[in-house]
Amino acid sequence: MIRISCLDVATLSEERCAEILNLLSEERRRRAERYLNGNDRALCIGAGYLLDCALKERGKSERDACYRFGAHGKPYLADGTFCFNLSHSGTLAVLAVGESEIGIDVEKVRPVSESLEKRVCSEREQAYLAKCGAGREEEFFRIWTAKESVMKYDGRGLLLPFREIEAIPTARGLTARFGGAELGIKEFAVRGFRGSVCAEEDCAETVQELCL
């Protein structure tokens, strides 16, 4: 069963960031310290905290974690404790954990340009969005996050062109089509954000919101 957790880092102070950072692995600390922007740094630390919480449920910790990386940089726990994938947008970090490959993406719903829609969406997706009226922006991010979750599930990320993946929302939900296959997408919404998970496993119905 895929479990999703999230953390809003908006109220995370510099002092609290430093405290959490000391609990995390050297790999995560190095990554966080490369960020000059405070929000980006907090998101990196928050993502590490989410992973640490998931590992502690198994009697382990992120501080002691060792990672390996796929051919295109997708991270895995070297000991195979579980599969995971992370994403963040705005001030929200999200984590998906399961027993098999996962891809997760989250985006803050916001205005988008027509040129971005054309770059991301197929002609059928553009035709769908044209009928959405006031809900167009939210529907765009349903499609966007579905595509990105497929890219991350696959492991090649942005090396896959957006328009090679098609995701048309229907009354029954959303299914992504890529390379002749249909991939199930679990959608979620949190505090003005839209998110999607691509995985073979079933997904928990609720998102666990963590507080610091």
- CA-nearest of 60, 57, 65 to 27 is 65
Kindly list the distances between the CA atom of residue 146 and the CA atoms of 2, 3, 30, 99, 167, in Å, as whole numbers in the listed order: 16, 17, 30, 20, 7
Fill in the DSSP letter of residue 159.
Answer: G
Q: Residue 159: its pLDDT value, please?
A: 78
Report residue 130 as tokens.
Answer: 């044209």
Q: Residue 169: its pLDDT value, please?
A: 83
Alpha-carbon torsion 63, 69, 74, 78, what sign?
A: negative
Residues of the chain with pLDDT under 50: none
Q: H/E/C letters for each residue in 82-98?
A: CEEEEEEECCEEEEEEE
CB 69 within 8 A of CB 41: no
Average pLDDT of every residue of the chain: 93
108 Cα distance to chain centroid = 12
Name the amino acid, one letter, at 160: L
pLDDT tens by residue, 115-150: 999 999 999 999 999 999 999 999 999 999 999 999
Please state the pTM of the whole predicted model. Answer: 0.95
CB 22 within 8 A of CB 32: no
Please, which residues bridge with residue 183 across strands?
176
